[in-house]
């Protein structure tokens, strides 16, 4: 029993030494980082692997210019995914054995790692059990492994930390931006309303309903001079300033879409004199495209700049490093002097013994 107990204790110590050395060595981090990069590159090689009916001639329904992946390529990518999943699973197991489960999950990075490992293993298990089941959402989550590289590179960690700190300040700018957006939408409703025809005789007979009334919102209405609802509306069905939500959506499309000139031209055609439309939309475009962008850039630069407190902490850290170097040098000199004194005493004793 004692022999078996000693064997178990020896095996436990060997396991602890191996797991601790593997979990804390830099070679494991480098190897896993290289595997993450290779796994991401292998996922970029994936393309269509189904069956295509090449005899189909309908240009709208049939697939065009699709290259079918060879079966060998599909098998190689599937095998590489299994190998990478195995590597990441073994890495997580080694760290859990070395650090302990409670200590392991307290780190946010480890929580992300083990979550991605479990999801990847679950995806492979379901594909194996259900014979080729393809769950797209689980495959997409595997691309999140590239996030693990952030923890392996110091500069990336600093960059993401600064960006995270900027989100708090960016919240105020986002609030101001949406406030300006709402004000611009309300102003657009007041400047570019489309006057509605309400009397029955103001629409043609072919669009009247069975009661002889003009339809208020027919589905075939075009927003132009021939529209049976409006006297005149230069905007189209989707982009207009008739309601608040439609006005808000139109303003958002205007400041973000590359085709913003069409909306400005529609505003210019709304009145006989196009000056009002030009002034409104150019002011809105300059405000959001430059002023708000400058605010975002200024906040990011401010957060990336080193504060006075960080500079003080950096100076204190440098002083501590220099003090530790001086102490180590002094300690090394003391040890060297002690060794010389001990050697001198030994040589003196040997000299005295020789004289005797």
Q: What are 9-21's pLDDT values in tens digits?
A: 655 665 555 555 5
pLDDT above 90 coverage of the chain, percent: 0
Whole-angstrom distance, CA of residue 77 vs CA of residue 55:
29
What's the residue count for the chain? 356
Whole-angstrom distance, CA of residue 320 vs CA of residue 326:
10
Mean pLDDT of 146-175: 72
Q: What is the pTM of this model?
A: 0.49
pLDDT of residue 305: 63
Band the pLDDT of 221: cuts 50, 70, 90. very low
Domain layout of the chain by residue ranges: 2-152, 180-303
On the question of pLDDT at 301 being above 70, the answer is: yes
- The shares of helix, strand and coil residues in the chain, as percent rounded to the nearest 5, are 75, 0, 25
Q: Residue 151: name the closest of 36, 323, 1, 15 by CA.
A: 36
Q: pLDDT higher for 157 or 133?
A: 157
DSSP, residue by residue, 148-185: GGGGG-HHHHHHHHHHHHHHHHHHHHHHHHHHHHHHHH
101-105, 139-143, 167-171, 275-279: segment of lowest average pLDDT = 139-143
61-70, 99-108, 160-169: segment of lowest average pLDDT = 61-70
pLDDT of residue 134: 59
Beta-bridge partner residues of 196: 230
Mean pLDDT of 251-271: 81
112, with CB counted inside 10 A (0-12, 13-18, 19+), is: middle
Whole-Å CA distances, 18 to 11, 13, 22, 104: 11, 9, 6, 17
Structure tokens at 142: 């595997």
Structure tokens at 216: 């208020």
Q: pLDDT higher for 266 or 221?
A: 266
pLDDT of residue 59: 56
Angle, nearest 10°, between helix axes 275-286 and 154-191?
160
On the question of pLDDT at 172 being above 70, the answer is: yes
H runs (alpha helix) in 192-307 = 244-256, 260-269, 275-286, 292-304
Number of H helices, E strands in the chain: 12, 0
* Residue given tokens 């994936």 in the structure block: 46
Average pLDDT of the chain, as a whole number = 71
In CATH, the architecture of 2-152 is Up-down Bundle (1.20)
């Amino acid at each position: 029993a004692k022999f078996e107990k000693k064997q178990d204790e020896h095996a436990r110590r060997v396991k602890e030494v191996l797991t601790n050395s593997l979990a804390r060595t830099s070679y494991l981090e480098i190897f896993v980082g290289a595997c993450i990069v290779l796994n991401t590159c292998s996922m970029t090689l994936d393309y269509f692997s189904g069956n295509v009916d090449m005899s189909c001639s309908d240009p709208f329904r049939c697939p065009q210019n699709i290259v079918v992946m060879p079966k060998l390529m599909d098998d190689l990518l599937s095998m590489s995914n299994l190998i990478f999943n195995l590597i990441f699973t073994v890495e997580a197991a080694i760290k859990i054995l070395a650090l302990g489960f409670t200590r392991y999950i307290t780190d946010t990075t480890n929580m992300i790692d083990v979550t991605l490992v479990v999801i990847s293993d679950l995806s492979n298990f379901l594909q194996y059990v259900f014979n080729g089941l393809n769950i797209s959402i689980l495959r997409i989550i595997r691309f999140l492994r590239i996030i693990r590289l952030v923890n392996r590179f110091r500069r990336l960690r600093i960059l993401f930390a600064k960006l995270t700190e900027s989100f708090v300040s960016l919240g105020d700018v986002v609030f101001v931006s949406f406030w300006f957006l709402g004000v611009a939408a309300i102003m657009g409703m007041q400047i570019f309303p489309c006057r509605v025809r309400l009397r029955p005789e103001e629409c043609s007979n072919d669009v009247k309903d069975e009661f002889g009334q003009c339809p208020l919102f027919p589905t075939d209405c075009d927003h132009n001079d021939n529209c049976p609802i409006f006297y005149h509306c230069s905007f189209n069905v989707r982009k207009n300033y008739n309601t608040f939500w439609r006005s808000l959506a139109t303003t958002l499309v205007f400041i973000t879409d590359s085709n913003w000139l069409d909306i400005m031209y529609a505003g210019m055609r709304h009145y006989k004199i196009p000056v009002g439309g030009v002034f409104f939309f150019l002011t809105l475009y300059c405000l959001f495209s430059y002023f708000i962008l400058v605010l975002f850039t200024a906040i990011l630069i401010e957060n990336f700049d080193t504060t006075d407190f960080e500079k003080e902490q950096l100076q204190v850290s440098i002083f501590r490093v220099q003090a530790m170097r001086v102490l180590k040098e002094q300690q090394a000199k003391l040890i060297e002097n002690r060794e010389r004194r001990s050697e001198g005493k030994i040589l003196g004793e040997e000299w005295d013994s020789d004289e005797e």
